Chains A and B, each alone.
Chain A
Amino acid sequence: MAPTPEQIKRERLYEPLGLTTAEYDRFAELLGRLPNYTEMGLQSGMWSEHCSYKYSKPILKTFWTHNERVVMGPGEGAGVIDIGDGMAVVFKAESHNHPSAVEPYEGAATGVGGIIRDIFSIGAKPVASLDSLAFGSDFTPHNQQLIDQVVAGIGGYGNSIGIPTIGGEVQFDASYQQNPLVNAMCVGVMPKSALQKGAAAGAGNAIIYVGAMTGRDGINGASFASSEFTDEAADRSAVQVGDPFMEKLLTDACLEVTRDHRAALVGMQDMGAAGLVSSSAEMASKAGYGVTLNLDLIPQREPNMTPFEIMLSESQERMLLCVKAGHEAEILAVFAEYDLEAVVCGRVTADGQYRLYHHDELVCDIPVTALTDAVPTYTTTPRIPAALAHPAPDFVPVVADATATLQALLALPNIASKRALFSRYDAQVQTNTVVLPGDDAGVIRVRGTHKALAVTTDSNGRLLALDPYRGGAMTVCEAAANLIATGATPLGITDCLNYGDPRKPEVYYMLQESARGITEATRAWNTPVVSGNVSLYNETSGEAIAPTPMIGMVGLIDDLSAITTVGFKQAGDVVYLVGQTGDDFNGSSLQFLQTGQYAGRITGFDLPTAVATGQAVLTAIQAHLVTACHDLSDGGLAAGLVEMAASNVLGARLTTSLTNAQLFAETPGRFLVTVAPADVAAFEALVPQATRLGPVGGNQLCIDTCDGGVNAPIADLIQTQQEALAWQLA
């Protein structure tokens, strides 16, 4: 027997579900009576941070979300940007951190599955996936297992469903040891005319449930994801299990509905966090209607499920559609063709009430808005963390042997190639992948046009930990630079904001400051935030992860012939460094190598300069003056050169006025490019910020500096860079 309303209030049964007494009281006030157990359960899911963004909304509101290209900004399943030719690109990223920590294979797999549904629910064909991962830096057996299983789960889902994984990133830092980050991004392409929204409008219209049956997996996952970790074993039942085969059928069928049955379809949304309740309540709320569902009609995997369980189950591969009355059979026939179970389970109502029937009994009768618009928002008074208020003194490195330092840096997991991990993802299915993972960004062509899309994910928690404002802006700049290096014009971003407990003043400060940095940078690059999600409470035993906004950015290449890659192409090409190098060592990999930590203030970043440098490089690429391009980040100039040398095993003989140490400085906003000898004059005229370093060629990497330099067989450096991670994970 479910507890009575009075018992819920008396024994505060809402607390274990993550609701405060004030929230419970407010809900009762909205209802004009005490909620019953089912209603209180719905509230706990819908008022969780994961569904309501109650702590992050005031911050998300500060994001810049619209420009001339944006077709649809945040608030729907995914963001949509015009790419010309009547086409649009659709993209979104989502975190699956908590499930992946507890059950890494299924946690990661269902993260991929969930974001794919967001894309096709808009009417777009999913064409690419990316994954931004962060793990602990101590490769304990448990951590190795975690890394292996997260990668296996991403591959297990993405490879099977047939969406290429064309990019992403993996970073290692002590702060993620107990709390890994798994952020999945999906990109879709569609004709602009196919756009559809998740709305349930028109009294009498049908609500159709399609896909997997509802089971007891992932019940109340939304509130699980919105709390700190306690006991893993007890949490495991809150993790869902994925079925990529079902999702492939669902994708194809739903795209057929949006393409061929537009007149019958009112709206469609996936059942993600808080499952059936969030999808149905959000669809009704967006349209200003109510909805009545008969839970006896919901396909159920297990007997005796309660309304609470049915509504809050997060079983995967389920979609909810609103279909015009009279057209039900037409839509059900499409799903039948794909052997998918679909049922009419309810109707839209005009009165704005959310009603559920179970065994012929009315078990919920509340205003839809009590689940959606009425959720309160909170702010915390921010406080700057002590370490930021009093930063460590500037790090002054001494690099006597630059060759040995470079070898050691290349072996750091954050710099070494991640090939051992990403080669487990199918990067080429759909046969559109022009630039494979391992470059600065993945690139896919858009069939039927002369265009291509470049996509990247970037995050850098250790930088944000030192300076959330600059770090936030620099993460956006890093993403833009990665796209530019392929020849793409940055279009827009999606983000996953991964932080600790927002009720803590220091965490809230980090959140607020990084959002300020992100906003400033997105305006400077003309790349609005069109979608995203928030993952808070990433803490274990009171310790928060490094503040980690993950920026997923999409760029457009108008002309396939302008696509540029990282690798040196030909001996004789001239290497240029674009942008100024300073003594910027705080937070650098060199600092970590020499001191074991990242500390100090962040120096050397200037947003207008970074944008101007990027635009100059892009102009040169688009003018076909550049044969290879790479943006500089971890490990600085020296590491960047090895990365460029790797694809065709070509050395270089270079001279610079920089010091040994400056070869490893991480001054942001710099690029390395190569230019064919015939184009040198034209390039220098177009990019005055460029400094000539010398020619590509030979078997050695020689860099003469003012106090020494690097001289090593390029094959040795490449071997370290390519194999170091595999050795350490073996």
Chain B
Amino acid sequence: MAEGYAHPEVLVSTDWVAAHGKDPGVRLVESDEDVLLYNTGHIDGAVKIDWQSDLQDAIVRDYIGREKFEKLCSEKGIANDTTVVFYGDKNNWWACYAFWTFKLFGHEKCLILNGGRKRWELDKRPLVKTPEPKYPATTYKAKGPDLSIRAFRDEVLLHQQKKGPLIDVRSPGEFTGELLHMPDYPQEGALRGGHIPGAKNIPWARAAAEDGTFKPRPELEKLYLQEAGLNPQGPTVIAYCRIGERSSHTWFVLRYLLGLKNVKNYDGSWTEWGNLVSVPIAKGPD
């Protein structure tokens, strides 16, 4: 399944999780779009981390800081040497978001359950409705933030001026500016529609197969190296979407499955760029 990927060791199968999900030193983390989905059934032993209430600061538009991250890990029974296995709904979209946030704070052993909830359910494996398990608190020490994986707006502007590679992972309608938001999706407002000039549009879900797993490497290469023209030995790639969540899925694919060394997620994304005064914007397909 994971053959051919640059870092196959970051993916685990449903078989592996069934056998090792409750091993000491392993913590399963479910992250979903819907904050209550975990409560309707989750993998036995998994804890819940919510992308909004746990990983985002409630006041400042930012991720939580180091101290809050340490507290979160401690409460979830995650130590610095714990192997954290992320999984979730919607092709692991939010699992990748949580994975990226853990990397921001320097957590070393992060894995993704390939296919997430969908593959688990397709394999007819059990989900339990028991309350979230409590594990002994840890004394977690966060590192970072690791800004080698996070881009801010000024850096994105310079990157754009130098014609650095940019991947816009939103839907074609959002990219062209025809829609200000995803079809059928609630959107956070932007005053202008379009994309960052020079960006290539590869909607994030094109990297996922029907069963929620990642597509095989040759198909991913076709998308990102041939269609988007990325050079694995080339300069830093910046991925963005609307608020940096869909692009963390693409960031994962580029960094771990295709092995690009320097990939950043611009979490300000279109809700920042589309509201900034005087920055360049392109409309239409190019």
A and B interact physically = no
Q: Could you list which residues of chain B lie within 8 angstroms of chain A, going by C-beta atoms? A: none
